[in-house]
Structure 1
Amino acid sequence: MRRLTWWAATLAALALPAPLLAQDVTLTARGGGLSIEGALTGFDGEFYRVATRYGALTVDAAAVICDGPACPDLTAPLATIRLLGAAEPGNAILPRLLEAFAAAHGYRLDLTAAGDGFQARLDSAEGRPLAKLGFTPTPPEEALEALRSDAAELVLATEPAPGLTARVLALDALQPIVAPDNPLPRLSTRDLARALSGEVANWAELGGPDRPLVLHALPAADGLQAALAARLGRPVAATVTHPDLASLAEGVARDPYALAITGRSAQGTARALPLTDSCGFPLQPSPVAVKAGDYPLALPLYLLTPRRRLPLVARELLDFLSTPPAQQAIAAAGYIDRAPMRAALADGARLINAIRAVEDGSLPQLHRLAETMAGAERLSLSFRFDAEGALDPQGREALTDLARMIEIGQFRGQDIVLTGFSDGEDALARSERQAASVAAALAEAMTGPAPEETAIRSRGFGAALPMACDSTEAGRRLNRRVEVWLEPRVTGNPAP
């Protein structure tokens, strides 16, 4: 009632002229004294969403009486959840996600194809209808406009958007593909950018055979293509376009002159062309590298939501995204889930990078690094920081994830070693101090309760284990990081 009283005072104070809307519901306070008229745009069983001449209002159903042809049946509210966005990930991920969601909540799911997308209905275990859901592939700008105008509840996108809440649903990785018989063994990111920009006309300019280079791509309005153009700083200079990822991969596989960029999940029968940075460091889109942010062309897939109250089932679905069954459904769809992974630290490529980075005076540091890596594991949570030592937004999210994992005891019997690395722009001693300082600060931030069987320590190795070349800002950004290493808990390990 206090909410309705506040609205009454606000509306009376405004007294502004406004165009009338279709008046299909009237909400009247149960105690009388205030009525709100407008077009009902949503009802989740708890709250009405009404478009009025004063804007969109959310009203507690328990506090009002609804009158009008659009008033819902309060005994069986049926929420409507409209999903829009990128076609390929939407049709691959969302059906599996809904199946896992229904199974976890004991709901019944009826899912059918509809046009280029699908429709679904969720019922309770007793058969009571809960929600109608539909996914419609939609270009990015149209999808965002629908979300902002209350014409959609959720949008699957490759980029976050101002004014909307973005959750990372899944991960993919952009990678170049060529025909299976293309003999080029690898390609640097610098040469890839030149080729995509139209600066390369012949494969010979990239170290390949003397044949023309033909760029294949998706339509410019496609979400993946838009994300690629944003990273490149310009549209891809494609001469052949395809309507979807499947036909793109098929077209490239048949064209001996072709080069294209696709998602790791949509390579098809084309050959993935390995990438290196400008100094020759290999860049591999493995799940661990993508999750840890070590692969520079990682492509997050976001689920965008408006800053308004969503139907109850939609809120339950959003809460479900962080659970193991949801992550398993994402992986089953061919994408990279967000569940942290463990990997052995004794990785040949990483050790080669460390050896390449050896300079005068750094051999003792390399020796300490090799000793620390022996028998340890790496967790796919990383913290990137800028030249001043400040964490990026993803790093702050990873800090929360790590604290939660520690609190629930996922590392019992192991020590957590927050291991800092820097770029090689500064002198050896200074870079090691910076890396150690950031790692120590993160260790101090782990203030939540930890099991006695787990200790948290920090170390810094400066520029001893580079992920990329320091000659570019992108490479330096990859190199400035704190990794989470896990060591067996043994008597005599230093105290945190």
Structure 2
Amino acid sequence: MAILRAATLAALIMICAGLPVAAQDVTLTSRAGDIEISGNLLGFDGEFYRVDTIYGELTVDGSGVLCEGSECPDLKAYVANVTLSGAPTIGRVLMPALIEAFALRQGLELSRQPTSDIAMTYTLSDPGGGQPRGRFHVRLTNTDEGFADLLAGEAEMVMSLREVTRSEAIRGREAGLGDLRDARRSRVLALDALVPLVSAGNPVTTITTPQLVKVLSGEITNWAELGGADAPIAVHLHDPDTGLGQVTERQMLIGGAQGFAAGAIRHATGEGLSQAVSQDPLALGIGSRSEMGPTFELALTGACGFAMQATRRAVKTEDYPLTAPMFLYLPSYRLPRLVREFLVFTRESAAQLVIRRAGFVDQLPEEIEIDAQGDRFANAVLRAGGDVTLADLQRMVRVLGPLKRLTTTFRFEPGSIRLDPQSRSNVDSLARALESGFYDGRQLVFVGFSDGEGLASANNAIALRRADAVRNAVVQTAETAQLDRLEMDVETFGEAMPMACDDSEWGRRANRRVEIWIR
């Protein structure tokens, strides 16, 4: 009899107290018949029952009990069910592609059945029209609705384009979902980015981030101020109740901007935004890299001459400043085994290739040869001044020359020492790689860089502390790693290799980073 202690204790209390029990959905009885639990069945994951009793929610191993009641599942024909609700950007293309690849990996057949205008059910079955093994119900709502469905018990996973809010986390804890802000309750599924978009007929090709904010907030209203024609700018944005709309607000409304231009045209979908921008030569929109459609991306530049576009590597390393991670949020209770296996699959190399083919940025680490980073070192030389000497640059080349840069990079939230969401995911990914022995026999160097504000000596010290903090976070997360099988060092070069101009918060944030270099 394999009943959890909490369940056994609660059952014994019920029996000993002799309390009357109201009509319940199910009754779980031990195979010996000496312990009985009654309650409302909250869920069954193929292995464990979750039952709401008068003593609270209990989890009971199904192998040790017999279930009686109209709501008892059919153990011989059990089908794993999971509902995902949230951002259509994730649910329309990426999630179906991952489910299809997972079914192929498991040797299962996949069928699709629309259940409403915004919902689709994907059924995974044994080959040859055999027994269904699992059903993935995908609802294309938005990020807000996805969290609302999770809180209401109408979904088990949220497809989100933003982090959970404080109020959602509080309500989630009250609903028994655990702490949704805990790293174990979410994962970064893929990466996207916000990009400034114009039509093919627009002659403007670059824009600085301060200029972009002024356009969006209504301070700059004419293309002539950006080097274009003497004509008004038509601003296009995502609806504020969409995940991308909320990410745009969080990313762009910093540095004193109070709000977006009153006349901004709002769109419910990325496809609608890109189509509208492509048809208007006077339009400027903020859309997603994955839904650019027939539009053109403006490169982000600065007074110091740097220019950056949302290339795959620039997004993966967060060298591009407007990255937008795509999240899956999960409850604290156990999900069915097939669903757990799917979640494990989403982190594998095969799934990362699916993510890339679907038009998003994967998180598979890449090693970049130093020969492919000539522009970075050239910028370091061009930007060198009184605080960065020739000796500093020569030492950097001597140390990094024999190494390769990993695309795994760590950056921090604005005005905080807390790692941003993408970087927290990178900590987990690197820790799992260390636990698997992937980097055994190699040398990993955590290299700290800073922005150019303040004294170079102080910036070096701060960059070193950040590199140490990231290394320690990875070591603490990699609980089962055999760290004696590899070498992990810390180095710093402060402001010696900037990635962007220091004339904006985005530029300074891009420069404050910890990179991983590997031999």
**SS of residue paired to 1:75:** helix
Call closer, same or farther: CA 1:255–1:365 in 2, change over 3 Å: same
TM-score (norm 1): 0.86
Could you say which residue in structure 2 is the equivalent of 1:470?
A: 502
Q: For residues 116 and 235 of structure 1, do their structure 2 counterparts lie closer, same or farther at Cα, with a shift above 3 Å needed? A: farther
**Pair 1:353-2:356 in alignment:** no
Code of the residue aligned with 2:204 in structure 1: it is: L
User: In the alignment, which residue of structure 1 is the partner of 2:252?
Assistant: 232
Q: What is the match of residue 173 of structure 2? A: none
* Partner secondary structure for residue 203 of structure 2: coil
- The 3 A distance-change label for structure 1 pair 449 and 294 is same
- Corresponding residue for 1:314? 339
Q: Alpha-carbon deviation of 1:65? A: 2.5
- Structure 1 residue aligned with 2:220: 200
Contact 1:215 1:240 in 2 (8 A): yes
Provide Cα deviations, 1:32-73, integer angstroms capped at 9, x if missing partner: 4433132x3432221223455665543322333222222221
One-letter amino acid of the structure 1 residue matched with residue 195 of structure 2: Q
Cα distance in 1 between the residues matched to 2:435 and 2:39: 49
Report the aligned-residue RMSD.
3.4
2:154 is matched with which residue?
151
Deviation string, structure 1 residues 227-266 (Cα, Å, up to 9, x no partner): 2123334664454333422222111111011111111111
Take 1:188 and 1:148, find their aligned partners in 2: how far apart are those partners? 40
In the alignment, which residue of structure 2 is the partner of 1:213?
233
Q: 1:66 to 1:344 in 2, by over 3 A?
A: same
The answer as to whether partners of 1:214 and 1:259 remain within 8 angstroms in 2 is: yes
Structure 1 residue 160 corresponds to structure 2 residue 186: no
Deviation for aligned residue 1:434: 4.3
Q: Within the alignment, does 1:180 sit opposite 2:200 as a pair?
A: yes
2:67 counterpart residue number = 66
- Once residues 147 and 389 of structure 1 are traced to their aligned partners in structure 2, the CA distance between those partners, rounded to angstroms, is 29
Which residue identity does 1:353 align to in structure 2? N
Q: Larger deviation: 354-363 or 151-160?
A: 354-363
Change (3 A) 1:14 1:439: farther
Once residues 19 and 199 of structure 2 are traced to their aligned partners in structure 1, the CA distance between those partners, rounded to angstroms, is: 64
Going from structure 1 to structure 2, the CA distance change for 1:386 and 1:298 (only over 3 Å counts) comes to closer
Query: Quick check: 1:203–1:211 contact (8 Å CA) kept in 2?
Result: yes
Q: What is the CA deviation profile of residues 255-294 of structure 1, one whole-angstrom value per residue up to 9, with x for unaligned ones?
A: 0111111111111111111112465432332222222222
Mapping of residues 319-334 of structure 1, within 5 Å: 319-334=344-359
Aligned-residue offset at 1:431? 3.0
2 CA distance for matches of 1:152 and 1:387?
32
List aligned pairs for 1:75-224, cutoff 5 A: 75-114=76-115, 115-125=117-127, 127-161=130-164, 162=169, 163-164=179-180, 165-224=185-244
Would you say the 8 A contact 2:238–2:286 is kept in 1? no
Q: Distance in 1 between matches of 2:113 and 2:359?
A: 21
Which residue is 2:429 aligned to? 401
Contact 1:90/1:135, CA 8 A, preserved across alignment? yes
C-alpha distance in 2 between matches for 1:168 and 1:265: 16
Q: Which amino acid aligns with 2:453?
A: E
CA distance in 1, matches of 2:18, 2:390: 76
CA distance in 2, matches of 1:364, 1:131: 62
Out of 388, 392, 401, which is 1:365 matched to?
392
Task: Give the aligned partner of residue 490 of structure 1.
Answer: none
**Take 1:102 and 1:292, find their aligned partners in 2: how far apart are those partners?**
31
Could you tell me which amino acid in structure 1 is paired with residue 445 of structure 2?
Answer: V
Matched, 1:459 2:491: yes
* Cα pair 1:157 1:302 within 8 Å, conserved: yes
Separation of aligned partners in 2, 1:108 and 1:145: 32
Distance in 2 (CA, whole Å) between partners of 1:15 and 1:217 is 63
CA contact under 8 A between 1:381 and 1:483: conserved in structure 2?
A: yes
Question: Secondary structure of the residue that 2:191 maps to in structure 1?
Answer: strand
Q: CA deviation at 1:216?
A: 1.8
Partner of 1:270: 295
Shift of 1:91: 1.2
Q: 1:13 to 1:387 in 2, by over 3 A?
A: farther
CA contact (8 A) 2:6 2:58 kept: no
* Separation in structure 1 between the aligned mates of residue 106 and residue 444 of structure 2, nearest angstrom: 35
Aligned partners of 2:86 and 2:144 also within 8 Å = no
Q: Is the Cα contact below 8 Å between 1:357 and 1:463 reproduced in 2?
A: no
Structure 2 CA distance, aligned partners of 1:437 and 1:239? 43
Indicate conservation of the 8 Å contact 1:417/1:485, yes or no: yes
- What residue in structure 2 maps to residue 291 of structure 1? 316
TM-aligned CA distance change 1:152 to 1:51, over 3 Å? farther
**Deviation readout 1:276-325 (Å, 9 max, x if unpaired):** 24654323322222222222210000001112121222211112121111
Quote the Cα distance in structure 2 between the aligned partners of 1:275 and 1:316. 40
**Aligned-residue offset at 1:441:** 6.9
Q: Does the C-alpha gap of structure 1 residues 146 and 341 become closer, same or farther in structure 2, counting only changes over 3 Å?
A: same
SS in 2 for 1:293: coil
Shift of the 7–242 alpha-carbon distance from structure 1 to 2, 3 Å rule, reads: same
Residues 259 and 53 (structure 1), Cα distance of their counterparts in 2 relative to 1, 3 Å cut: farther
Find the partner of 2:307 among 269, 282, 286.
Answer: 282
Partners of 2:296 and 2:365 lie apart in 1 by 28
Structure 2-normalised TM-score?
0.82
CA distance in 1, matches of 2:461, 2:246: 40
Q: Which amino acid aligns with 1:299?
A: A
Can you give the 5+ residue segments of structure 1 that lack an aligned partner in the other structure?
Answer: 488-496
User: Contact 1:421–1:435 (CA<8 Å) still a contact in 2?
Assistant: yes
